């Protein structure tokens, strides 16, 4: 039989600041379940996450579209990361509607010789 969580109890949870599962103290309880916890390492308060990390911020659709663009630029290059097929199918639908502009060739820059700082200091000293 599991007892209800009480204020101050130790509980493991994913800390949003430490980015790890750490020891936490229960700060708030609703209906016998921890609602807010405080990390015992960094002392940050956050909602109880049931030891679940937040979803990654990388959007897989954007990554699939980026990989498609890279394939068009250099078809011999391999994709840097594997992307699920469902995401690639969605990306091809979006890709058909997108318009790709050609980038003009960059001309080679001519090096410019700048005067040395010592020359400026000498000319100011003479005046």
Q: What is the pLDDT along the chain (127 residues), one digit of tens a residue?
A: 567 889 999 999 999 899 999 999 999 999 889 999 999 999 999 999 988 888 777 777 888 888 888 888 876 755 555 555 554 444 444 444 444 555 555 566 667 676 766 655 555 666 5
User: Residue 106 domain-assigned?
Assistant: no
- Give this prediction's pTM: 0.44
The confidence score (pLDDT) of residue 119 equals 57
Residues 41 and 64 in one domain: no
Task: Single out the residue of 53, 57, 11 nearest to residue 32, CA to CA.
Answer: 11
User: Residue 70 domain-assigned?
Assistant: yes
Q: Under DSSP, is residue 30 helix (H, G, I), strand (E, B) or coil?
A: strand
The confidence score (pLDDT) of residue 91 equals 47
User: Residue 27 domain-assigned?
Assistant: yes
The confidence score (pLDDT) of residue 12 equals 93
| CA end-to-end span of the chain | 93
Number of domains in the chain: 2
Q: What angle do CA 89, 93, 94 make, to 5 degrees?
A: 115
User: Residue 15 domain-assigned?
Assistant: yes
Lookup: tokens for 120: 């400026």
User: Residue 93 domain-assigned?
Assistant: yes
Query: Structural domain of residue 25, as residue ranges?
Result: 10-47
User: Residue 118 domain-assigned?
Assistant: no
Contact 34, 12 (CB under 8 A): no
């Amino acid at each position: 039989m599991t007892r209800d969580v009480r204020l101050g109890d130790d509980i493991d949870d994913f800390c949003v600041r430490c980015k790890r599962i750490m020891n936490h103290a229960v700060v708030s309880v609703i209906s016998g379940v921890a609602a807010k916890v405080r990390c015992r390492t960094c002392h940050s308060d956050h909602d109880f996450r049931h030891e679940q990390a937040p979803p990654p911020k990388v959007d897989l659709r954007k990554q699939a579209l980026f990989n498609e663009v890279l394939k068009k630029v250099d078809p011999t290059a391999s994709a840097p990361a594997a992307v699920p097929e469902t995401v690639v199918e969605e990306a091809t639908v979006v890709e058909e509607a997108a318009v790709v502009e050609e980038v003009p060739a960059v001309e080679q820059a001519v090096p410019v010789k700048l005067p040395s700082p010592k020359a400026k200091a000498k000319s100011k000293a003479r005046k």
